[in-house]
Amino acid sequence: MSAQFDKELEERLVRYAQIDTQSEETSATSPSTTHQYDLLNLLVDELATLGAQEVRLTDYGAVLATIPATVATPTPTVAFLAHVDTAPAFNATGVKPLVHHHYDGGDIVLPDAPTAVLSPHEFPYLAEKVGDDIITASGATLLGADDKAGVAIIMTMAHHLLENPDVAHGPIRLCFTPDEEIGRGVHANLPDDLQVDFAYTLDGAELGQIVYETFSAEKATVHIEGVSIHPGNAKDKLVNALHLAAKIIDTLPHVTLTPETTDDRQGFIHIYQMSGTAAEAELNFILRDFELEGLAAKAELIRQVCATIQATEPRAKITCTITQQYRNMRYWLENDMRPVELAREACRQLGIEPFSTPIRGGTDGSRLTEMGVPTPNLFTGMQNIHGPLEWISVQDMARSTELCLKLAQLWAG
């Protein structure tokens, strides 16, 4: 059945990926960047053309729409969500999606960066996709399948349901959010605007993956005020903020507690941005752990390191601010596993073996679940996200589309 969706999914992802939608953490607006509206407004127009109802763009930049029920009996209202923004971590301007039809199992060399090679030996999941249609970028940018693959899947599902009213399903809500990549995808008003009983994000990876456990997350912002003076007259007077920033980084345990040295259920402290001058500097960290105790310990460690460095130089001023981002959705979903179990059942009915592993990240579903809307995460097929080696199989996307359609029917049952 999935072959019927291949062409539409390929066309949608290629077209959506070419639209620059990077989010920007330092922006105070929602969406954080105006060019996210290029895709948001396009989706509004496309949903209206397809015949969706109650299509609107909220004042915080989320697109909402409804596919009315085709059954008369009361059924839960279920939402499907994806985010339109792409990660600020790598260039996403001028994306040139490439479709490698009928992948032959060899290396895929990306033309704009010949040293960027997708090898099935390095990426075993790629070796499983011989014969599939593989979409990559050209090597100079990320692809943006995270999460434009989810957008394409939901739009393809909506197209199919609206063209086939004989498919039995309850009320379905569609939602496309901005700014997920910077932890601001779920606005405080979104749960009330969605008005659903359960939801799913389309933001997962390998075929069959049903996610109900994510990291819990906080952000640490360390601000350092030094003492600025002309370097020619600096003896015993200058306090260099950059030197203190370097000491903080060097004092943190970077051998055992960073993303590149941890895996599985280990958390980490990750410095992802540093800026400033000798007079003033700022360090930005993300803190991740599957358990709140581990997350709290990492926050306390950063505070202690800052206090230690502060004690070595009382003329400086070092402040550490910890900001909550999201929580492990398991804390709530383990109390009501219905949306997870139904997704597993839908997979099995489609001949897909479901599996659930904790993901070392978060989704809009993390926040939505915490806010009262149980929202596990479904696979799309996306791989190597946030970098130039990002890729996805069209056929994985098609199976994800089938899963969404099957879920719509099972909830009606």
Cβ contacts of 312 within 8 Å, gap of 6 or more? 247
Chain centroid, CA 139 distance in Å = 21
The strand order across the sheet containing 134-136 reads: 98-100, 134-136, 391-393
Please list the active-site residues. 85, 180
* E strand or H helix that includes residue 78: strand 78-83
Q: At what angle do helices 338-349 and 394-412 cross, to 10 degrees?
A: 120
- Given the DSSP bridges, would you call strands 198-204 and 377-379 parallel, antiparallel or unpaired? parallel
In 3-state terms, what secondary structure has residue 210?
strand
Distance (Å) of CA 34 to CA 27, 41, 142, 160, 180: 10, 11, 20, 30, 15
Using the Cα atoms of residue 161, residue 162, residue 165 and residue 166 in order, give the sign of their dihedral.
Answer: negative
Q: Give dist(CA 92, CA 388) in Å, integer.
A: 9
Identify the H or E element spanning 98: strand 98-100
Sign of CA dihedral 167, 170, 175, 180: negative
| DSSP secondary structure of 18-76 | TS--B--TT--SSSSSTTHHHHHHHHHHHHHHHT-EEEEE-TTS-EEEEE--S-SS---
Question: Three-class SS of residue 238?
Answer: coil
Residues with Cβ < 8 Å from 261, sequence gap 6 or more? Answer: 254, 255, 268
Q: Which two tokens stand for residue 194?
A: 């969605």
Is the CB of residue 287 less than 8 Å from the CB of residue 272?
no
Residues in the chain, how many?
413
